Each structure stands twice: as structure tokens, then as C-alpha cells.
Chains A and B, each alone.
Chain A
Amino acid sequence: MLIGKHLIDPSDFTREEFRELFDLAHQVVKNPEDFRKSCEGKILATLFYEPSTRTRFSFEAAMLRLGGSIIGFSEPNSSSVAKGESIADTIRTIECYADIAVMRHPKEGAPRVATQWLSAMPLINAGDGGHQHPTQTLTDILTVELLKGSVENRVYGFCGDLKFGRTVHSFIKFLSNYEGIKLVLISPEELRVPEYIREEVIKKNNISCIEADKMEPYMKEMDFLYMTRVQRERFFNEEDYIRLKDRFILDKEKMKYAGKETYILHPLPRVNEISIEVDQDPRAQYFQQAKNGMYVRMALILKLLGIY
């Protein structure tokens, strides 16, 4: 039962709870129309302290497709946050008006702090700084299941900014619950996964893992290659960003090294880490992945509100 729970970090749900959620998400994918009145009279608050296209729109589209309504802000300057209001006060106010809320924040751990002030309203982390982005992981996993049928016993490549890439952290944390996972982590030395992911997630769970600085030798054996953007907004130093931003670019030439069923995923937005020519390749699944994000968020809202 997921009713009333928060989703701040992938470890907030058990494997069984995720299964329950994905089973519903598969039903939503098959027949989205069946759910169009499920959330009538319910309100979703979207608190976006940081810009977003896919995550915010997919949450809003999800709630609207469920028959619910939306309130919120898409940048903090249009709310009392600009007057210096604390997260604690904002979230307690929002709970007076909404049934469920989504928060994106540039500071790591902000949604976790917010949950300490809530009495009943479920809160969903839509990305906190370079830390976690659990609903992107829901999107990624639904895509994995739709393409390959199951998550376990697979090789997952992650490439780009693995240090500040919150989608990567959440994805790896989620995978740590499954058997037969092999990780290939491709990044510049400076953008390797943070210590807590390496020690607390990968080593603690004895996950097979290779860290590399080239993708080509490993692409054939990968089931999925998860490309990520080097994020300008996470760097305090512009010079470091410029030095690292174009280190890994996936183009048509490199795709020749990939297996016939090596699917390319990306949480988007992309800058230039995947050449536009790759979009035509049937193995490029990132736009379908974005669509799946709406379906799985519909399922998440339904579960947290206890409607299904």
C-alpha cells in the first residue's frame, strides 16, 4: 500500500511497492482513457524552485489526464519564496490547499526537509540539486520493462556527468535491489559517481561495476546506454564546465559499436551529447522514454492518493 507515502528517494519504496506501481503503470500505458476521471476533485501542487520542462509538464499532464486540477509555481520568484519564505512554511501552507505535491529544488535534501513538516499530504521529489530524481527513475524503469520485459540480469551503461547527475544516482540506487545487474560507468575522472553511491550502494550490494573513460569497448554488451548532459548549473566554476562538457558525444559512428538491442536512453534535456542524427536510429528511445514519464507519474499519483 502506497497511500500517503512520500517518494523522496528510491529507497522509500520496497521492491514489492515498486512492482505494484509498475503493474498499474503498464495498465495506464495500455488504456490511459480508463483513468480519465480517477482524480476528479483532487488537486496537485507543483512547487518548482528550479526550471523544468519534461518533469513539470509530465506531472501536470498526468494530473489533467486523470481528471484532477493543478496549482503551483514554475519559478520561485512568482511566489512568497522570493520574499524569503522557508521551505517549512511554504509546504505547510500548500498542504492547506492541495491533496498531493511535487517539489523540485536546487538544494540537495530540500524535499526531505519538507516532509518533516507535513501531516498527511504525500510529497514527491521531482529532483533536488545533483542528488536524486526518483520519478525520472520510474520513467527509466518503465521504459526498460516495455523494451526488454524485465530489469534484472542486464548490463546498464551510464555516460557523462555521473557526479551531479541525479537521474543516474536514483537509477543506480533502484537497480541495487535487483539481481544480475552489471554497471559500466563512463565519465571523466572529475565527474565520477559520488562516494556514497560507490560505497553505500554499489560496493555494499556487491554490484558488478566497471569505471571507464571510453564507451566504445563496452557498448556491444550493454542492454541500455544511459547518456547524460554535463550540467552547467551544477558547476561553481565555468572553466571546469567548458573543459568537460564535450568529452562524450554519441554519434552515428559510435552507434556502430552498440549491440542490435542496445537501447539509448537519456533523461533529457540534451545539449550535444547525442548527435541529432542518432534520433533516427530505432535504438534511440529517449523521446518514447519522456512519454512513458507521464504514464508512470499518472500511476504514482493514483497510488499515493490511494485511488488504485
Chain B
Amino acid sequence: MLQITSIEKGIVIDHIPAGFGIKLYYYLKLDKADYTVALIKNVYSERMGGKKDIIKINNEIDLDVNFLGLINPNITINIIENEKIAKKVKLKVPEKVVNVIQCKNPRCVTSVEGYADHVFHLVDPEKRSYRCEYCDDIVIPHTV
């Protein structure tokens, strides 16, 4: 059986929908990390009714909670100190996201204007759908 030991000080990102762990890994630039990081894929999870991914980071880093909430507000973030959970961070579906996702509408001004931020506003918290500030195109980021 694969064994990944506990971390002394750092962050455990748990309950990541299976398959999104690798996206998160690159988004958080963990591929460039010089500290210990473990990406664990396809772990059985009763709570998630199937598989999940987990990331263990043996370091303190700034996490973009907006991006994590965008992927799935049920993701759990545990802050670890002395090998114990010192704090749990609760995620929310963000009302507004800036430069996290890009508009896919080829007619949108963001496809040509490099100065423009990619800004999206929450439309439906249940569907987790977002509207582009400029062209009004609606996207569901966690399905893209």
C-alpha cells in the first residue's frame, strides 16, 4: 500500500474533485516548489461518493481561496502545525473572480485587448455559473 507520511507544518488541501488535483497543482505553481509536495490522485472518499484528490504541502504558502472556491466550495483546507490540524479554512463560491478564468467567447474583447483583466461575476451559486463582465457570456468554470 502507498504510504504518504504526515507533514509537520503546512497545508493539506482535501476533497478535491478527482482529476482537478493536477490543475490545482500547476495553478498553485507547485511544480516549481523546492519543498515537499504530494499530489495524491483517486483516493476513495465515502463523503464524495467516489474518488477524490489530495494535495499535501510541507510549507506555508498563500492560497488563492477564490480559485479553490471556484473549483469546488466543498474543498477542505487544513492548516497543519506540529503535525496537527491547527485551522480549517471554509471556502465560498466567490462573487467575483479576476484573472482566474478566461472568457471563451471568440467575439469577446478580452481575446484581443491585452490590457483588459478577465473579470467574471457569479450568476447562479448552485450551478456555479459566471458572467463575463464585458461580453456577458455565461460559463461554468468547474466544467471547463
Contacts and interface: CB of A to CB of B under 8 A. Distances in A.
B35 interface: no
A128 B135 CA distance: 9
Contacts of B114: 86
Contacts of A269: none
A170 B8 CA distance: 57
A113 B135 contact: no
Interface in B76-114: 105-114
B123 interface: yes
A200 B138 CA distance: 10
A92 to B, nearest CB: 11
- Secondary structure class of chain B's binding surface, majority of residues: loop
B123 A109 contact: no
Interface stretch (B24-32, B57-65, B126-134): B126-134
Interface residues on A, range: 20 to 34
B48 interface: no
Interface residues of B, number: 22
B138 A109 contact: no
A107 B107 contact: yes
Interface stretch (A21-29, A54-62, A191-199, A287-295): A191-199
A181 interface: no
Contact of B138 (A87, A196, A234): A196
Interface string A134-178: 000000000000000000000000000000000000000000000
A284 B106 CA distance: 36
B123 A199 contact: yes
Contacts of B113: 86-88, 107, 110, 113
A71 to B, nearest CB: 23
7 contacts: A87-B109, A106-B107, A108-B136, A109-B109, A196-B138, A199-B124, A200-B136
Interface of B: 105-116, 123-124, 131-138
Interface of A: 86-88, 105-110, 112-113, 116-117, 128-131, 194-196, 199-200, 234, 236
